[in-house]
Amino acid sequence: MDLAFVLYPKMTALDLIGPYEVLGHQEGVTAHFVAATPDPVTCDAGLVITPTVTFDELDRADIIVVPGSGVWEAALADGAVAAWLRKVHPTATWTTSVCTGSTLLAAAGILDGRPATTHWAVRDRLAELGAVVSTDRVVRDGSVVTGAGVSAGIDMALTLVGLIWGDDRAMFTQLGIEYDPRPPYDAGSPETAPGELVTLARSLLSGSAT
């Protein structure tokens, strides 16, 4: 089973690494890190990831994972990711995104009229791009699975493991990575965070959340 993890400049590392740790260890899986060029890609916090294949070289994958970015508008404007998605999505078994990666799916026409989720600060923009926006942490619509902001990529990937390999395998994977979230604060969403922090976050993110 071929997994394509999409790379592009200034992407958010955890959006990719979380799903990779969940999916990359499953039996029979071959992971590909695909980008526009073979040059190393620098994530938004400085982590460097080297592609294993380019968009021109990889024309199909069983599972596609598209991470988000704090500067996702730049990836939209570039158009390279969306163009590749338009080519490979029709033959993929699963097409997925994490955080603002959903905007790239939308730019490729994959989310037209479909339910999808994204980072809370980008919900309005995703709706403008044609999706039916949900506030759920993970949304599945047919072969398309989207995750909300950053850490939701782990939830999205575990959901996918359950769909492909069964619930027992998904629970075993969750146990193996000790995914048992107990955050020290209850400020992980705009519904629970203090109002002044939500206002500050909105002003800093300015519609381009990670």
**Other beta carbons less than 10 A from residue 60's beta carbon:** 12
Contacts of 77 (CB under 8 A, 6+ apart): none
Q: Which residues are catalytic?
A: 99
Crossing angle between the packed helical segments 152-165 and 13-23, to the nearest 10 degrees: 30
Decide: 19 and 98 in contact? Cβ < 8 Å.
yes
CA–CA distance, 63 with 133 (Å, rounded to integer): 22
Q: Residue 205 to residues 7, 46, 74, 177: CA-CA distances in angstroms?
A: 21, 18, 14, 30
What is the DSSP track for 60-76? --SEEEE--BTTHHHHH
Within 13 Å, how many C-alpha atoms sit on residue 18's CB side? 25
Q: Rounded to an integer, what distance in angstroms lies between the CA atom of residue 37 and that of residue 83? A: 14
| Cβ-proximal residues to 189 (8 Å cutoff; 6+ apart), any chain | 120
